Amino acid sequence: MTFSDLNLHADILSGLDAMGFENPTPIQEQAIPIILGNKDLIGCAQTGTGKTAAFLLPLMHKIAENEIPDDTIDTIIICPTRELAMQIDQQLEGLSYFSGVTSIPIYGGGSGDDFAKEKNALAKGTHVVVGTPGKLISHLNLGYVKVDQLKHLVLDEADRMLDMGFHEDIMRIINHLPKERQNLMFSATMPPKIRALAKDILQEPEEINISISKPAEKIVQVAFNAYDAQKVDLVKHLLRYNDIPSLVIFASRKSKVRELTKALQKEGMNAKGISSDLEQSEREAMLREFKHRSLQILVATDVISRGIDIDNIDMVINFDVPNDAADYIHRIGRTARASSEGEAVTFINEEDQEKFLKIEELMEREVRKVPNPSSIGDGPEYAPRKRNGRSNKKRFYKKRR
Ligand code: AMP
C-alpha cells in the first residue's frame, strides 16, 4: 500500500514526500481510514510504530480539505510530556510544509514570556494545539482559548498520562470542549483504567491493536546477569568491542543517572546525563548534541524513554530492569526506529530477575542471556522463580513452547 491509496490531500502527500515517508506503517494503514471516516478510535500502539503520523495525517487532511481558517482551533492533542508535545509539533510542522496547517506546542516549565506567547496564539487561534494537560487547563481556565469550533481531540500515551496523575486535568479539559467532536485515544498498554477512560470519553470507538507488548522484530535483545559492581565494566567492555557511535543508557532513578554519568566520564567516556531535573533548555541542548552525534552516550531516566524521537541509536542499555514491563518496551523502542536496526542490552542483577521474567512473559519471548566476559567474571545465576521460592522459570518456558 502507498500513501496515495489512502486518499490523502495532495499537499499532505507532498509533505510525506518531503519527510521521506514512502509507505504507511501498519498502524497508519489501519488508523487513517477510520479517522478519515470520522469514527472515534482507540489505538493500542507503542512509540516507534508511526502512531504520531497515524493520527496527524488524517487530521491534517481534513483541515486542508475543508479549508479550515487558521484562526480556528480544530484539534487539541493532549500528551504526557513536553518532549512529546514538541516532537508531535515538529512532526506536524514537517508534514504540513505544503498544506499550511498551523500548530503550537503548549507545555509546562516555560517562562512567563512563553506563557504570554502561548496565550496570544491560543486567543488568536491555530489549527492544532499540542499540549501537556496541566498547561492546557491553565490556559483554558483563563477563558481566551477559542475552542468553540473544535472538531477533534487526541489523547496520546493515555496510559502514561494516567500514571502521571493527569486524569482530573484531562476530564477538566474535556469539559471545556464542544460535545460534538471526534475522539482518538492512543495507549501503549490497555489496563482496565484505560478501558474505563475510553468508555467515558469515546463514542462507539473502532479499536486497533498493533502488536502490544511485542517490540519491533528488528531489535536484537540480549541480557547479562550482572552484579551491580560489574555493570560499569560491562558498559566499558561493550564499547570497547563494538562500534557504537550512539548509545542510550537507561537507569530507573535520577540519582543513578548522576552516579553512572560520573563513573563513565571518569573512565574518559563521552557521556552526559539527562533527567527531569535539568532546565528544559539544557535538555534540548543535550538532545541536539546527541542527535548530531557530538555526544556519544546519553544516560537517561524513563522520563525521556517515551516519545523522544532520536533516530539511528545503535544500542540501548538497560543499566537496570525497569519496574514497569511496558517501560522496557518503550526503552528499547528507542533503537530500530522505522527503518534502522538496533540492539538492546539489559543488565539483570539478582533482585531484578523476577521483574525481567515478567517482561519476558509479557513479550512471550525469552531474551538470550549472554555469559559475562571472563575479565569481568560470572554474575548471579538467572533463576527468578527459584529465587522467589516458587517453581523454576524453566517450567514457564516449557509450558509456552
Ligand atoms: P512514532 O511511533 O510516531 O514515534 O514514529 C516513529 C518514527 O518513525 C518517527 O521517527 C517517525 O518520523 C518515523 N515514521 C513514521 N511513519 C513513517 C513512515 N510511514 N515511513 C517512515 N518513517 C516513519
Instruction: For 198-226, write each residue's pLDDT tens digit.
Output: 999 999 999 998 865 567 677 899 999 99
- Rounded to the nearest integer, the mean pLDDT of the chain is 88
Residues 202 and 223 in one domain: no
* H helix runs in 82-166, sequence order: 82-95, 112-124, 133-141, 158-163
The pLDDT of residue 155: 98
* Sheet with strand 342-348: strands edge to edge: 271-274, 297-300, 247-250, 315-318, 342-348, 219-225, 368-369
Is the pTM above the cut of 0.95?
no
In a domain, 185, yes or no: yes
H/E stretch holding 186: strand 182-187
pLDDT at 11 > cutoff 60: yes
Q: Which domain holds residue 71?
A: 3-210
In a domain, 262, yes or no: yes
In a domain, 161, yes or no: yes
Centre of ligand 1 to C-alpha 49, Å, is 7
Residues 204 and 262 in one domain: no
- Ligand 1, closest atom to CA 52? 3
Residues 105 and 140 in one domain: yes
Compute the distance between CA of residue 43 and CA of residue 59 in angstroms, rounded to an integer: 15
In a domain, 291, yes or no: yes
Residues 8 and 53 in one domain: yes
In a domain, 401, yes or no: no
The pLDDT of residue 108: 74
The pLDDT of residue 22: 84
Compute the distance between CA of residue 55 and CA of residue 50 in angstroms, rounded to an integer: 9
The pLDDT of residue 198: 96
Least confident window among 150-159, 163-172, 254-263, 335-344: 335-344
Residues 55 and 108 in one domain: yes
Q: Across residues 240-245, what is the average pLDDT? A: 90
Residues 180 and 264 in one domain: no
Pocket test for ligand 1, best of 330, 337, 339 (most atoms within 8 A of CB): 337
Given 192, 210, 228, the domain boundary residue is 210
In a domain, 193, yes or no: yes
Q: How far is CA 331 from CA 146, 308, 346, in A?
A: 37, 10, 11
Compute the distance between CA of residue 79 and CA of residue 166 in angstroms, rounded to an integer: 10
Residues 263 and 327 in one domain: yes
Residues 237 and 300 in one domain: yes
Q: What is the dihedral of CA 327, 332, 338, 339, to 10 degrees?
A: 180
Cβ atoms of 46 and 57 within 8 Å: the answer is no
pLDDT band at 341 (very low <50, low <70, confident <90, very high): confident
For residue 295, the one-letter residue type is L
* CATH code of the domain containing 92: 3.40.50.300
Cβ atoms of 98 and 89 within 8 Å: the answer is no
Centre of ligand 1 to C-alpha 338, Å, is 6
Residues 146 and 290 in one domain: no
Q: Which residues contact 334 (CB under 8 A, 6 or more apart)?
A: 48, 248, 305, 308, 310, 313, 316, 342
Residue nearest to atom 15 of ligand 1 (CA): 50
- Ligand 1, closest atom to CA 309? 10
- Strand-pair partners of 207: 42
If one counts the domains in the chain, the total is 2
Compute the distance between CA of residue 332 and CA of residue 330 in angstroms, rounded to an integer: 6
For residue 384, the one-letter residue type is P
For residue 104, the one-letter residue type is I
Q: How distant is the alpha carbon of residue 334 from its chain centre? A: 8
Given 210, 235, 251, the domain boundary residue is 210
Cβ atoms of 358 and 364 within 8 Å: the answer is no
For residue 399, the one-letter residue type is K
Q: How far is CA 399 from CA 214, 355, 369, 382, 392, in A?
A: 19, 19, 20, 18, 12
Residues 184 and 230 in one domain: no
Pocket test for ligand 1, best of 1, 12, 21, 312 (most atoms within 8 A of CB): 21
Q: Which residues line ligand 1 (CB under 6 A)?
A: 21, 23-25, 28, 47-53, 91, 309, 311, 337-338
Compute the distance between CA of residue 156 and CA of residue 91 in angstroms, rounded to an integer: 14
Residues 165 and 250 in one domain: no
Compute the distance between CA of residue 59 and CA of residue 36 in angstroms, rounded to an integer: 8
In a domain, 396, yes or no: no
Residues 15 and 60 in one domain: yes
In a domain, 160, yes or no: yes
Given 154, 179, 210, the domain boundary residue is 210
